Amino acid sequence: MDENQEYLTEIKVRGYHADFYGHVNNARYLEFLEEDRWALFESRIDLHKWVEQGLLFLVINININYRRAVGVGEILQVATSLDKVGRKSAVLRQEIVLKTSKELVADALVTFAIMDGSKKTVVMENEILREILKLDSAGTAKTD
């Protein structure tokens, strides 16, 4: 992501986010990333319309890199951008940084698909593709 990245989610690390060692538990990072995915989707796509059409987003893979331990009291910012769109799946690039220094603490690639009411993965074309491309504010996502 670039230095002009939009951070939609800010999280103050609380005691319940920490493990026995006083660091953010690895599973909490996944929650932080999910919070920002929701913020991005809600800000760009009419999710109520999607639900009415029987469409839903389905995370199918997450690859995360933990770069730095984070302790209680630190403030994090999370950003999400569309990285690439394939025929039946797309990839989001996410990062978590310290608010004050912008030091990277974790980054992830999250692959998702869209499922319809018949529980089948839909092809990302036409209106669905146009909606997914709304997630790419920088206009840098690759398409297959």
DSSP state of 76: E
Query: Across the strands, what pairs with 106?
Result: 66, 96
Give the span between the Cα atoms of 66 and 57, in whole angstroms.
25
Decide if 34 contacts 27 (C-beta within 8 A). Answer: no
Catalytic (active-site) positions:
19
Task: Taking the CA atoms of 54, 127, 4 and 95 in sequence, report the sign of the dihedral they define.
Answer: positive
Tokens of 114: 């869209």
